[in-house]
Amino acid sequence: MAKYITKRLLYLLFSLYLIITATFFLMRLAPGNPFTGEKQLPPEIQASLNEHYGLNKPWYVQYGDYLVKIAHWDFGPSFKYNSRTVNDLINDGFPVSLFLGVEAILIALALGTLLGIIAALKHNKWQDYGAMIIAVLGISVPSFIMATVLQYFLAIKWHIFPVARWDSFMHTILPALALASTPMAFIARLTRSSMLEVLANDYIRTAKSKGLGQTAITIKHTIRNALLPVVSYMGPLSAGIVTGSFVIEKIFGIPGLGSHFVMSISNRDYTVIMGVTVFYSIILLSAILLVDIAYGFIDPRIKLTSGKKGE
């Protein structure tokens, strides 16, 4: 167990190192200079800025400095807004994004598993088709379209929810729903197919031969085993929520890290793009690791000794 976690941690660090290195060098390839994009500054200002940010040093020194800074949880400055650092943006925006993300994950898990379970138990009946049509719609509609449509009808036209901003819990519902729609659809399909797979197992027949009723079989023997793949989907799920939040936060005017990131993209604020990317990578890779470890505790068959992932 400890050996497995150490091994996974080493992989995680190595992946992170690759990501940081890749972002660092990619950003050096970017056109223009970090302060202006393509415009030119007066040479003396340029020089003093370079001096201040250490850009006059050779690349390998800059690279080393950057690695050391990241290790100290310092994601660097913003070149567009002098007074703010990437850490400021993270401290400011991430709590908001985290709240929205967790709410969306809860919605996606609750509705998704419910739909999937109903669909599997009523396999090839109208409930199954209904649930799967909802799921296919959720997968087929890109989140920004879903969000805009939800916002237009539920907020602008029918005034059920506030249109935008981030003031009360009511403000969080619509964006969380929009953010949850795609992952919910994936979870519903995953739950359904894994339920069907479990239902076809011999041990379900054994349970039936014991005289257990449909409800007891579903609760005690089916759902638990069928939800194991859903647990392992939590990693990709959090990645989907993070990237989804870029779009959703922008549409609903939510002051989260996602909108800061999108803003930095349109401003070509390279250091912010770089810093936030690295930050997100740390969060996501840790989330995936935690999910895998949790999975090992939940599924008694898996012993976390080898590096192989149970698929």
Catalog residues that contact other proteins under the rule CB under 8 A: 11-12, 14-15, 18-19, 22-23, 26-27, 29-31, 136-137, 139-145, 148-149, 152, 156, 200-203, 205-214, 216, 220-221, 224-225, 228, 239, 242-243, 246-247, 251, 262, 265-266, 268, 270, 273, 277, 280-281, 284-285, 288, 299-301
Q: Give least dist CB 52 to other proteins, A.
A: 24
Nearest CB to other proteins, comparing residues 50 and 286 = 286
Nearest CB to other proteins, comparing residues 19 and 114 = 19
Q: Give least dist CB 14 to other proteins, A.
A: 6
Nearest CB to other proteins, comparing residues 73 and 152 = 152
104 CB-near residues (< 8 Å, 6+ apart): 175, 176, 177, 179, 180, 183, 241, 244
Q: At what angle do helices 270-298 and 234-251 cross, to 10 degrees?
A: 140
Helix (H, G, I), strand (E, B) or coil at 77: strand
Q: Give least dist CB 182 to other proteins, A.
A: 9
Closest by CA position to 238, among listed 73, 136, 98 = 98
For 242, the token pair is 């993070």
Q: Give least dist CB 44 to other proteins, A.
A: 28
Q: Where are the alpha helices (DSSP H) in the chain?
A: 2-29, 43-53, 59-71, 86-121, 126-140, 143-150, 169-199, 202-209, 214-216, 224-226, 228-232, 234-251, 257-266, 270-298
136 CB-near residues (< 8 Å, 6+ apart): 185
Nearest CB to other proteins, comparing residues 230 and 242 = 242
Q: Give least dist CB 164 to other proteins, A.
A: 13
Nearest CB to other proteins, comparing residues 143 and 191 = 143
